Amino acid sequence: MKSLSLQDQLLKAGLTSKSKVHKVKNAKRKQTQRQQKNKVEVVDHGAKLAEDARLYQLEKDRLLNEKRNKKAEKRQIAAQIAQLVKANKLKKDDEAPVFHFTYKNEIKSLYVPEKLRKDIIAEKAVIVMFAGHYEVVPADIAVKIAERDARRVIYLEKDQASKVDDEYADFAVPDDLMW
pLDDT at 105: 86
Number of residues that make up the chain: 179
The answer to whether position 26 is within a domain reads no
> 101: how many CB neighbours lie within 10 A of its CB?
17
The answer to whether position 33 is within a domain reads no
The answer to whether position 72 is within a domain reads yes
Higher confidence at residue 175 or residue 121?
121
**Chain segment 30-45, per-residue pLDDT in tens:** 888 887 887 766 667 7
AA identity, residue 165? D
pLDDT at 104: 85
C-alpha–C-alpha distance, residues 110 and 154, integer Å: 13
SS in 3 state form for 70-98?
A: HHHHHHHHHHHHHHHHHHHCCCCCCCCCE
> What is the rounded average pLDDT for all residues in the chain?
84
The answer to whether position 37 is within a domain reads no
DSSP 16: S
pLDDT at 161: 43
Determine what percent of the chain is predicted with pLDDT higher than 70: 88
The answer to whether position 27 is within a domain reads no
pLDDT at 54: 93
The answer to whether position 150 is within a domain reads yes
CA 158 from centre of chain? 32
Q: Which domain holds residue 139?
A: 47-179
Query: 145, 137 in Cβ contact below 8 A?
Result: yes
The answer to whether position 138 is within a domain reads yes
The domain tally of the chain equals 1
Mean pLDDT across the stretch 161-174?
A: 62
The answer to whether position 9 is within a domain reads no
